[in-house]
């Protein structure tokens, strides 16, 4: 069951990593303009995210959710195959838009089922989930390199990804995550589901957790997105050195995720996040001001390891805050992700006016915000699980 769920996350991140690496080849092959490349990056995220939004609250649980997972997985495979055979930009864009809600149904609902399968170990399961995703992110470009080395092209790489997705779909179909309790709820209608999601926001800790997830992403995905440009612009690195910096970032993040799996067996999740936020509060400013490319890479690696607990632990806490409502968590996470899309825009806007170095310097407040947000966490007011086990 666990292996099947992790396979779904692995193949999703494989596709994401391969997409970033193959974009120059796709642009050259289909003669895409820069504006079309921009649309390809933003429109699927926006439209696909809107289509994905109601999935969590409409999928229900039990057989209804399983049908949604398997249906989404089938669309996931077809979307990858559609990208592989797209003859022009409109076909490529359509397949890319379909990919997002398909991923939400196949991967997002599989994650929610995994969280329901063992409520007492959500943080540990999310740590393994994040490790599988990090491995996929690192391996995605390598899949493209391997296909190119054997004489194939980007289309062949996407067919390989579709085959990998088919294997993951078969694994999930044979071993779906099963909820711990025997009760099976029917899928609500849209109005009931929307009211349930709004009511969930009033649950102690839910809104705070959603906010912290988006704030933390500024030092996770947003920093990674701007890293290469920063190293060239402010760090005076060559493009090859910048690519090495991104590789160090992803590799150290993978190592941090692997270490987190073991650490969570000995230390409470929220205590670990607090400690990591304190380390990041020192490591991130050090990364920005330390001279020399090699020194920056060392500090960057330490920062990437330190921030590894943030996303999986906070998402596990969100599930913990809404027991029995994992579908609502999927919907709220999707909504938060759409709002979180303003993060890269804000950094880019600030960089345009004050420079990228100063724009990224503003992200130094993220660890402080995280520590403040965890200061009076609802589940941590005097409860024993907040102490070292």
Same domain, 160 and 224: no
Which pLDDT score, from 0 to 100, does residue 286 have?
97
Which pLDDT score, from 0 to 100, does residue 173 have?
92
Residue 199 lies in a domain: no
pLDDT in tens, 190-236: 555 566 677 777 777 788 899 999 999 999 988 988 888 888 888 78
Which pLDDT score, from 0 to 100, does residue 191 have?
54
Which pLDDT score, from 0 to 100, does residue 385 have?
40
Q: Which among 268, 325, 263, 313 is positioned nearest to 129, based on CA atoms?
A: 313
Which pLDDT score, from 0 to 100, does residue 76 have?
96
Domain that holds residue 224: 206-383
Q: How far apart are CA 275 and CA 323, in angstroms?
A: 26
Residue 353 lies in a domain: yes
Average pLDDT, the chain: 85
pTM above 0.85, yes or no: no
Same domain, 341 and 245: yes
Residue 328 lies in a domain: yes
Q: How many domains does the chain have?
A: 2
- Of 51-55, 166-170, 231-235, 358-362, the one with minimum mean pLDDT is 51-55
Among residues 131, 162, 177, the one where a domain terminates is: 177
Same domain, 159 and 289: no
Specify the CATH number for the domain of residue 270.
1.20.1250.20
Among residues 125, 157, 177, the one where a domain terminates is: 177
Q: How far apart are CA 234 and CA 290, in angstroms?
A: 12
Same domain, 42 and 161: yes
Average pLDDT over every residue of 315-343: 83
Mention every residue, 6+ apart, whose C-beta is less than 8 A from residue 141: 17, 18, 20, 21
If you average pLDDT over each of 52-56, 64-68, 316-320, which comes out highest?
A: 316-320
Among residues 136, 156, 177, the one where a domain terminates is: 177
Residue 200 lies in a domain: no
Same domain, 226 and 340: yes
Which pLDDT score, from 0 to 100, does residue 175 have?
84
Same domain, 16 and 62: yes
Tokens coding 210: 């959603």
Q: Which among 92, 51, 47, 41 is positioned nearest to 72, based on CA atoms?
A: 51
Question: Would the pLDDT of 182 be above 70?
Answer: no
pLDDT in tens, 78-129: 999 999 999 999 999 999 989 988 998 899 889 988 888 888 888 899 999 9
């Amino acid at each position: 069951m666990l292996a099947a769920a992790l396979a779904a996350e692995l193949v999703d991140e494989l596709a994401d990593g391969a997409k970033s690496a193959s974009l120059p080849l796709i642009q050259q092959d289909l003669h895409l303009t820069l504006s079309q490349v921009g649309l390809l990056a933003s429109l699927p995220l926006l439209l696909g995210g809107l289509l994905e939004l109601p999935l969590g609250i409409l999928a229900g649980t039990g057989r209804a959710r399983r049908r949604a997972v398997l249906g989404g997985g089938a669309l996931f495979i077809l979307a990858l195959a559609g990208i592989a055979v797209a003859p022009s930009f409109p076909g490529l864009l359509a397949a890319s838009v379909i990919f997002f809600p398909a991923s939400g149904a196949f991967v997002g609902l599989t994650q929610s089922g995994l969280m329901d399968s063992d409520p007492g170990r959500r943080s540990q399961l999310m740590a393994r989930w994040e490790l599988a995703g990090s491995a996929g992110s690192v391996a995605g470009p390598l899949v493209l390199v391997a296909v190119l080395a054997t004489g194939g092209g980007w289309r062949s790489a996407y067919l390989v990804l579709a085959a990998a997705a088919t294997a993951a779909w078969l694994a999930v179909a044979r071993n779906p995550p099963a909820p711990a309790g025997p009760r099976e709820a029917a899928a609500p209608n849209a109005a009931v589901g929307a009211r349930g999601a709004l009511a969930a926001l009033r649950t102690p800790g839910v809104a705070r957790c959603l906010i912290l997830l988006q704030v933390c992403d500024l030092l996770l995905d947003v920093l990674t997105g701007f890293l290469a440009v920063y190293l060239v612009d402010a760090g005076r690195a060559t493009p090859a050195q910048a690519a090495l910096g991104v590789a160090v970032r992803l590799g150290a993040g993978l190592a941090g995720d692997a270490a987190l799996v073991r650490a969570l067996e000995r230390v409470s999740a929220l205590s670990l996040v607090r400690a990591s936020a304190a380390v990041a509060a020192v490591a991130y400013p050090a990364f920005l001001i330390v001279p020399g490319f090699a020194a920056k890479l060392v500090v960057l690696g330490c920062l990437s390891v330190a921030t590894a607990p943030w996303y999986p632990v906070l998402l596990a806490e969100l599930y913990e805050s809404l027991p029995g409502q994992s579908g609502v968590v999927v919907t709220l996470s999707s909504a938060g992700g759409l709002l979180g899309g303003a993060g890269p825009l804000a950094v880019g806007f600030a960089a345009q006016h004050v420079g990228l170095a100063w724009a990224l310097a503003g992200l130094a407040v993220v660890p402080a915000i995280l520590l403040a947000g965890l200061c009076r966490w609802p589940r941590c007011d005097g409860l024993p699980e907040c102490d070292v086990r």
